[in-house]
Amino acid sequence: MVRTISAAQAPRNFDDGLPGTSHSGAYTGRQRGGRGHLLPGQGPGCNAVLQQLAVVPAHWGGSVVADGHLRVAGVSAQAVGRIRAAAFSPLPARSILTLTAAHAAVFSHAMTSVSSFLNKATRTVLWRTGLGRKAAASYWTNRAEGAGFRYLYRETDDVFANVPTQFADPVFTKFIAEDNKRWTMQESFVVEVDDVLLEPERLLGIRAGREVVEQTVVYKHDRQYPYILPYLLRPAKTTQLATAIWYDGSATRNYFHHLVDALISLQQLERSKLPLDTPVLITKQMYDTVYFQYLYQRSTQLRQLNWYVVGDKEWVQVKKLYKLQTAPYSPAAWRTMRELYAMPDVKPWRKVFLNRDRNRYGRYLDNEREVVDMLKRHGFEEMFAENLTIEQQAQLFQETEYMVALHGAGMIQQFFMNYAHSHVIEIMPGNYLQPLYYWQAYTMGLKYYDVIVGGTMRDGKEYPVDVAAVEAAVERMLNTQHPGRVYGLTELPAAPAVS
């Protein structure tokens, strides 16, 4: 079930500030309830000028007035300036230009586009210079416990204690051993937080005293903060909820984070002991992603939840907010998530080289043709996940028995592989070592044969790889007789079968 109650989506009246003049549904300046631009008026020739500028049609016959000012609903400042320059007679006193809804929508769209561009440009400058983060860090205080926080369940697991660390490449061997120790302690919990205000863009939680609820921050390494100005200018009226479950404000923009930061959390629902009709909060942007919608259409369990899609401009005040978290690399958690997708039982048969489209993304091989030619000799086909629909990607991974893949977000979909029968080799640049998909493969029980560490990646783009090293790993993978799991140089018994 999905419910949306968005203050931003509710119709409002435009009050032009003159006694007795309220025009229901007029769409002006800002998206809703906003003001048009005001400037000194200079003539009744405005109608003709507007027609020349294609602002109104030639047959439009409305009056043009506004107490010595011209008000053009939804027209940009630049367009209004052109109107003023072209107009040539004094305006009659006290009337208003009201455009048709169709034209107002066009102008509003233009204004919204300009505003969005300027907003993004400003944020980019503040982020790249570090000024925005410094200001936010001094303005906000992060809080994860204390008064108003109650943990209903909390447990820490040593998830990487037994993860093998021996690989043919000594560089990756050292790297994975260190990262295992660094990230091995992972926490599962259900926390109840009192009186939380959620901003609409990323659902970051705010409490009295400018406190940011740490549990609502997804990208902690990038340190998310609420934007200060929208917070100060927030509407006086907010949506009020007695209880709600915080699901996702920004994780699902990325398939990996959709799984490990959002979907996996639902496994704590039973421990929360909350009624099934408790609102589950998600932003509209995340709700509309292909990742969420693909699962939503497949999963009966997901559709049974009471989804509350927060509007783009809707601020939500929650009396008691519940945040759920499951240790990201729990084997049981990944298997349960897999069951939500209700995937058919497919025996894999394909050999796939998962390449990266150099015209769209970085981290590609500068000697990729040599690698592709070698792999084709071994029966591999070259595929690009980014050029497939999400349904096609899931099918590809289901059907793949042997995969050689460049490190990238597409690898998260080894989630759909046959855990008992599929094999993986990963290639990554020497200056961009990552453990994520090895950990995922180990957690699910996939056979992860090797990591081939390439050369230095230049400017986030291309890097070379030793073709002979890749071929040696491929031949070992294709010729192995071991019936169980393989992680680098370590062979283990088979895991419980999951199709």
Is the pLDDT reported for residue 407 higher than 60? yes
Asked if residue 354 and residue 226 are part of one domain, the reply reads no
Asked if residue 457 and residue 380 are part of one domain, the reply reads yes
Residue 137 lies in a domain: no
Asked if residue 325 and residue 229 are part of one domain, the reply reads yes
Predicted confidence band of residue 254 (pLDDT cuts 50, 70, 90): confident
Predicted confidence band of residue 31 (pLDDT cuts 50, 70, 90): very low
Number of structural domains (the chain) is 3
Domain finish residue from 315, 340, 365: 340
Q: Give residues with Cβ within 8 angstroms of 476, minimum separation 6.
A: 449, 450
Predicted confidence band of residue 494 (pLDDT cuts 50, 70, 90): confident
Asked if residue 245 and residue 166 are part of one domain, the reply reads yes
Calpha distance 405→413 (Å, rounded):
11
Asked if residue 303 and residue 169 are part of one domain, the reply reads yes
pLDDT in tens, 290-331: 999 999 999 999 999 999 999 999 999 999 999 999 999 988
Give the pLDDT score at 362: 83
Amino acid at 366: D
Domain finish residue from 85, 105, 128: 128
Residue 151 per-residue DSSP state: E
Give the pLDDT score at 360: 83
- Write out the residue range of the structural domain in which residue 51 sits: 2-128
CA angle, 326 then 246 then 415, to 5°: 45
Give the pLDDT score at 4: 52
Buried b (16+ CB within 10 A) or exposed e, 198-213: bbbbbbbbbbeeebbb
Is the pLDDT reported for residue 278 higher than 50? yes
Residue 136 lies in a domain: no
Asked if residue 160 and residue 83 are part of one domain, the reply reads no
Between residues 115 and 423, which one has the greater pLDDT? 423
pLDDT in tens, 70-121: 333 444 555 445 444 444 444 444 444 444 666 666 676 676 677 667 666 7
Residue 134 lies in a domain: no
Asked if residue 201 and residue 97 are part of one domain, the reply reads no
- CA-based torsion, 75, 80, 86, 87: positive or negative: positive
Residue 497 lies in a domain: no
Calpha distance 434→368 (Å, rounded):
20
What's the whole-model pTM score?
A: 0.75
384 contacts 356 by C-beta, under 8 angstroms: yes
* Cβ atoms < 10 Å from Cβ of 84: 18
